Amino acid sequence: MDALPVAASSFVGRAADLEAIADRFEDGARLVTITGLGGMGKTRLAQRFAKAQASSYAAPGAGGVWFCDLTGVRGRAGCCSAVASALGLQITADEAALVEQLGAALARCGRILIVLDNFEQLAEVAAVTLGAWLRAAARARFVVTSRVALGVDGEHLWPLQPLELPPPELREPAELAAVESVELFVRRARQLRPDLVLRPEDLSAIAEVVRRLEGIPLAIELAAARVTVLSVIQLRDRLVDRLALLVRHGESGRHASMRRVIAETWDQLEAGEQDCLAGCTIFAGGFTLATAEAVLAEDVGPVLPRLESLCLRSLVRATPRLELEGELRFSLFETIREFAAARLSAMPELAARLAGRHASVYAGLARTLAAPAVGGGPAAARLDLELDNLVAAHAHALASSDAEAAERALVLACAAHRPSMRRGMVGHALRLLDAAIARAGATAAPADLAAAVLARGRAHRLLGAGQEARADFVEGTALARSAVDPSQEALGRMLLGELVEIDGATAEAREHFAAALACLVRAPDDPLAPLREAEIRTRLAHAYRREGQLDRAEQEIDRALALHRAAEHCEELPLVLYEAGVIAWFRGRHEEALARYDEGLARVEASDPRHARGALSYVRAILLQERGDLDAAFDHYVRALALIRVSGNLHLEASALYYFAGAHLERGQRDDAARLLERALRMFHELEIPRYQALTESCRATVFALAGEVEAARRCLTAAERAAAACRSEGALTATVAIHGLHVRMTTAAPAARAGLFEEARALAEAYPSDDSRFALRVALASVAHGEPPGAPLIVRAGGQALRLPGAAVDVDLRRRVPLQRIVLALARKRIEAPGEALALEELLAAGWPGERVGDSAGTNRVHVALSTLRNLGLRAVLVSSREGYALTSASPCVLEQ
């Protein structure tokens, strides 16, 4: 027989947990302890497992499956009495013999499965009770639920994790509803409101709720109980104060609120453990054992045993990080953090001491990791992981008045700069650096100030502030020189050279690069010297390539590649492969170039530096375009532009727009090309980059000439020649402008003269080979051959009431679907005004339902339903998505009728 309680509600998910526990017993385990935070669902899982195993323990002579709730039971005698009572056993011995007699009774039961629920308050007597029963009854099997591990010989732990959460990109209502955490919310909500109807926007709100509750079953159930008075969208919006909301009113049980569940466990902690848990909330985004000891030990005592106890009680989570060679990283559930942070705030003196020590420890960590992080590897990965802690420590340092606070702020801002830039948070990095430099003033150590000013210059350059970047590079280089820091001085020289090369002054740039290499000679013992040298030689190769000196360029890039490959870690290698690929391409070795790009993309896939991925994707697009594979090139351009925009690199974005315009021009989509060129030109003027101004203006001259606007074409040529004059060392640039000029002449020349003009253009392209000169020649050739007509357009009828898909014979009627009309119109206008650029979800929402006030999740779902409908109506092939949003493909022309 058995004595399993009937569950009050249905069981959701946990199939993998049930299977894993069964496997433990199959492998010979006799005791499996399910551990986890209160409310994680340990009891339900144990009951479900016992029910699933009931038949295998029901054979004649077997003892069956039994359940014993130990809530509120204390001491060895209480434990024995509760277990005996649950199993219906008569125990007559005195207290001293209770354990032995119960063990003998269990042995007589034969094959038996016993569930001991809520054992945590009996953990101190587990060895003398449960341990003795395991020895006495060889055929007995135990499943125990406990908030803490018991430490009994032969114990197999099964730490219970939160329920599966919906990934942020999951939006389809049916798929959302099938996720365990969402399913649990819906089932519990419908127990209280059987009439509950969930729209797509409600399911999206539920998905956000369960994510913010981190998949904790009790928290989800308590939140779901609120549907009697709140809509799911109101519930989501009120989750700012979790603990105040997660209460089941009218009940007083131990699971009536998350605050009570956590408080029960808190009350079981020793005072030192409570202080340790409260102190853990000083960390942002997780921490390691070493940082916990450095920050907490002075105030809370030995950290290792206390942190271990907190982990065993599931109050702190420990996760191995593969990028740090398996080192454990600790974190808290947000509900626990909220509870423990309130306890720390009640001890303001302790909180102040911990915050100050946290800032000091992370400043020291930043200083230690800054140099090795330049090469990538574990140091760079660690800085990425610690970004939230670095920012929190920086804020405390800025607010502190002690003598070393300004120096700490400077070091922390420099350390946060690299991971912030990798995530595309350029403005954020700039604000941190600005504040730290202002706080430090002239009192900072010149070496620290030099590093911060040079880092700020890099941020300024990416944001298009060329003059500010130049001033920072000049100042940073001077500070490094005064600090007798040749490695930093070399960096400053290199950055100055890079900046002047962007302006087209390649000869001056090479002088800076040569000076930078000379600085490194004065730093023979600097471990960063090989990587610095590789960076400088890569820039030197780029300058030689711009000048058409491909032999010299290849020599420099080969040396840079060798230095990078010899380094243990090398974050910059993908961008070196980018330059090596371009040089190989310019020398006609296309397959080698593609192999270089593919290796670079493979290397950045895991680390996801958007700048490098975007650069490699767009240069790969240019090569595909030159090989005539325009479809693949278009895909690469769109992907690259999405990555580059997120990275914040305006120079790279503008140049990608220029080349994307060229792909449109080669496809015959002149209007699209003209709009992209206009956008690129505006950006190049803002960035003050004459080289690309010359390229863009000369390409615009060709577009105007093809449209028959000869005077406009000549004005563009004049502007191009003026801009190119600043870049006299770039023969390929001058040749490209000249080829476009010859093309303009072809459009007005007599037919007999066109062949001669074209031969002039061909000779220039062969004398000064580059992707730009060859592109200009291809456009000229297409013009001479009268070109290929552009593909069939996507036609959007007046008012968006209908549309004609490319090559289709009939219209798609949208007259009865006003929001769809508005969305199609918005997409078409964006497609025409800014080819390749997407509309964000909020922009589509405003277009489809103008003036309506809709919650975030509800609005998101409205848009997704509308887009899904458009795809089903036939737009699947022309409606594309990216990280930025949605767009009509730029691979086909688009016509918007008035």
In this structure, are 612 and 602 located in the same domain?
no
Residue 860 pLDDT exceeds 90: no
State the chain's mean pLDDT as an integer.
Answer: 86
Joined tokens for residue 143? 């499943």
Residue 819 pLDDT exceeds 90: no
In this structure, are 19 and 143 located in the same domain?
yes
Q: 822-849: per-residue pLDDT in tens? A: 888 888 888 888 887 788 877 888 888 8
pLDDT for res 471: 95
Joined tokens for residue 545? 């390539």
Q: Write the DSSP assignment of 216-235 as a string of letters.
A: -HHHHHHHHGGGGTS-HHHH
User: 26 vs 322, which has greater pLDDT?
Assistant: 26
Q: Which amino acid is at 171?
A: R
Residue 232 pLDDT exceeds 90: no
Mean pLDDT of 390-410: 91
In a domain? residue 620 = yes
Highest mean pLDDT among 81-95, 221-235, 489-503, 520-534: 489-503
Which CATH number does the domain housing residue 871 bear?
Answer: 1.10.10.10
For tokens 């002047």, the residue is 500
In a domain? residue 831 = yes
The DSSP output letter for 355 is H
Backbone dihedral angles phi then psi of residue 829, each to the nearest 5 degrees: -65, -40
pLDDT for res 783: 61
Mean pLDDT of 557-569: 88
| pLDDT > 70 fraction of the chain, expressed in percent and rounded | 94
Does residue 860 contact residue 817 with C-beta atoms inside 8 Å? no
In this structure, are 596 and 646 located in the same domain?
no
Backbone dihedral angles phi then psi of residue 578, each to the nearest 5 degrees: -55, -55
Does residue 648 contact residue 629 with C-beta atoms inside 8 Å? no
Q: Which of 304, 330, 346 is the endpoint of a domain? A: 346
pLDDT-based confidence at 786, cuts 50/70/90? very low
Q: Which of 496, 516, 536 is the endpoint of a domain? A: 516
In a domain? residue 107 = yes
pLDDT-based confidence at 132, cuts 50/70/90? very high
pLDDT-based confidence at 489, cuts 50/70/90? very high
In this structure, are 30 and 145 located in the same domain?
yes
Joined tokens for residue 363? 């400043």
Give the three-state DSSP class for 196. Answer: coil
pLDDT for res 787: 46
* Rounded alpha-carbon distances, angstroms, from residue 223 to 148, 173, 185, 332, 527: 26, 20, 8, 20, 55
d(CA 136, CA 134): 6
Which CATH number does the domain housing residue 35 bear?
Answer: 3.40.50.300
Torsion of CA 610, 616, 617, 622, to 10 degrees: 140
In a domain? residue 370 = yes
Total domains, the chain: 9
Residue 404 pLDDT exceeds 90: no
**How do strand 802-804 and strand 812-813 relate by DSSP bridges?**
antiparallel
In this structure, are 597 and 636 located in the same domain?
no
For tokens 């918007």, the residue is 896
In this structure, are 596 and 618 located in the same domain?
no
Backbone dihedral angles phi then psi of residue 773, each to the nearest 5 degrees: -65, -35
H-helix segments, 72-129: 75-87, 98-108
Q: 496-522: per-residue pLDDT in tens? A: 999 988 878 889 999 999 999 999 999
In this structure, are 327 and 353 located in the same domain?
no
pLDDT for res 791: 67
Does residue 147 contact residue 73 with C-beta atoms inside 8 Å? no
In a domain? residue 264 = no
Q: 141-152: per-residue pLDDT in tens? A: 999 999 888 989
Beta strands in 314-394 (DSSP E): 317-321, 327-331
Which CATH number does the domain housing residue 647 bear?
Answer: 1.25.40
d(CA 650, CA 461): 9
Q: 70-102: per-residue pLDDT in tens? A: 988 999 889 998 999 888 887 776 766 888 889
Does residue 776 contact residue 765 with C-beta atoms inside 8 Å? yes
pLDDT for res 608: 59
In this structure, are 340 and 370 located in the same domain?
no
Cβ count near 781 (within 10 Å): 14
Which CATH number does the domain housing residue 573 bear?
Answer: 1.25.40.10
d(CA 645, CA 641): 6
Which helix or strand (DSSP H or E) is residue 32 part of? strand 31-35
In this structure, are 29 and 149 located in the same domain?
yes
**How do strand 317-321 and strand 327-331 relate by DSSP bridges?**
antiparallel
Q: 421-456: per-residue pLDDT in tens? A: 887 788 899 999 999 999 988 778 898 999 999 999
The DSSP output letter for 516 is H
In a domain? residue 449 = no
Residue 809 pLDDT exceeds 50: yes
Highest mean pLDDT among 8-22, 266-280, 367-381, 780-794: 266-280
Beta strands in 498-585 (DSSP E): none
In this structure, are 185 and 196 located in the same domain?
yes
Query: What is the Cα 469 distance to its own chain's centre?
Result: 28
Q: Which of 761, 790, 819 is the endpoint of a domain? A: 790
Does residue 344 contact residue 282 with C-beta atoms inside 8 Å? yes
Residue 1 pLDDT exceeds 50: no
pLDDT for res 609: 64
pLDDT for res 883: 63
H-helix segments, 790-880: 818-833, 841-848, 856-872
Residue 293 pLDDT exceeds 90: yes
Mean pLDDT of 350-364: 94
pLDDT for res 34: 93
Q: 463-480: per-residue pLDDT in tens? A: 888 889 999 999 999 999
Q: Write the DSSP assignment of 664-729 as a string of letters.
A: HHHTT-HHHHHHHHHHHHHHHHHHT-HHHHHHHHHHHHHHHHHTT-HHHHHHHHHHHHHHHGGGTT
Does residue 437 contact residue 456 with C-beta atoms inside 8 Å? yes
Containing structural domain, residue 356 = 348-444
In this structure, are 773 and 695 located in the same domain?
yes
Give the closest residue to 651 by CA, choosing from 884, 469, 891, 838: 469
Does residue 473 contact residue 457 with C-beta atoms inside 8 Å? yes
In a domain? residue 263 = no
In a domain? residue 259 = no
In this structure, are 705 and 669 located in the same domain?
no
Residue 710 pLDDT exceeds 80: yes
What is the model's pTM? 0.76
